[in-house]
Structure 1
Amino acid sequence: MALVPDDVNAASDEKKNGDVATTTTQKLPKGMVLGPDGKPCRACNSKAAFSSWAAMAKGKVDSPQTTTAATSTPTTSALSTDDCPPDVETLGRSSWTLLHTITASYPPRPSPALQRDTTTFLSLFAQLYPCWTCAEDFQKYIASDNGRPRVSSREEFGRWMCEAHNAVNEKLGKERFDCGRWEERWRTGWKDGRCD
């Protein structure tokens, strides 16, 4: 993983021009995740970290909230960021929502062909995921003995997805979800009726 250690304040950005590589050094915020190209990875960082880096890269010393947009005078805090590329948290929440919803709509007894397609989908998803460090982690997880996708039924697939999500939650220091309640959370709605 290409996290910048707390005590490192600079990284190199290489731009290849034929055989010549030029390097520029710039300061990076604490914990900034770099992409394979050595540049900050938008999909691997929070909006706050990326905005902080962008402000630093532009040579601005004030906070990102007071930076003005190029085409208008309102401050960034007055502009909506809903239409900006997703950060790592937004991407993660959206991806888990999609994956859990797929498990919830999965047939109770899928055909062998659908089981193969589902396993292929998960492998491709892990390869194409925009946050490269997250993608590598998920690839390792699904290749491990405990992480191999279990797709022979809706119940099995739903529990497997919940366990995969919990593995990520543990890594991030987040609370584990009770996988005995995966269907209530993602398929049927809570028994207290709040989803009705």
Structure 2
Amino acid sequence: MEPKIWGPPAWIFLHSVTLNYPNNPTPQDKEDYRIFFDSLQHILPCPTCKEHYAKNIRSNPINLKDRTSLINWLIDIHNK
């Protein structure tokens, strides 16, 4: 599937997900969001995109400290 078809709406969705992350996340919140963002490297509908995302999260691990940290992390991932 072409990234130009699904990519822009996927990024909107992912950024929306970060906006709902708690300011003071519980350990369970952190685990849920870690699993969600980690799983994307396995399920994105483009092999090149999967590889690129996996490389980016290995070099820039998810920051689940608080909402602002997660928002900024995804912005960094998106801009790579």
TM-score class, shorter: over 0.9
TM-score of the pair, normalised by structure 1: 0.40
Report 1 or 2 for greater relative contact order, CA contacts < 8 Å, sequence distance ≥ 6.
2
Number of aligned residues: 80
Superposed, 1:126-165 pairs within 5 Å as 126-144=41-59, 147-165=60-78
- Name the structure with the higher strand share: 1
Describe the superposition over 1:65-90 as per-residue Cα deviations: whole angstroms up to 9, x where unpaired.
Answer: xxxxxxxxxxxxxxxxxxxxxx3112
In structure 2, runs of 5+ residues without a counterpart are: none
Q: Based on CA coordinates, which of the two structures has the bigger radius of gyration?
A: 1
Superposed, 1:1-196 pairs within 5 Å as 43=1, 87-144=2-59, 147-167=60-80
| Runs of 4 or more above 3 Å deviation | none
Across the aligned residues of Structure 1 and Structure 2, the Cα RMSD in angstroms comes to: 0.9
Percent sequence identity over matched residues?
Answer: 29
How many Å separate the matches in 1 of 2:47 and 2:72? Answer: 25
- Name the structure with the higher helix share: 2
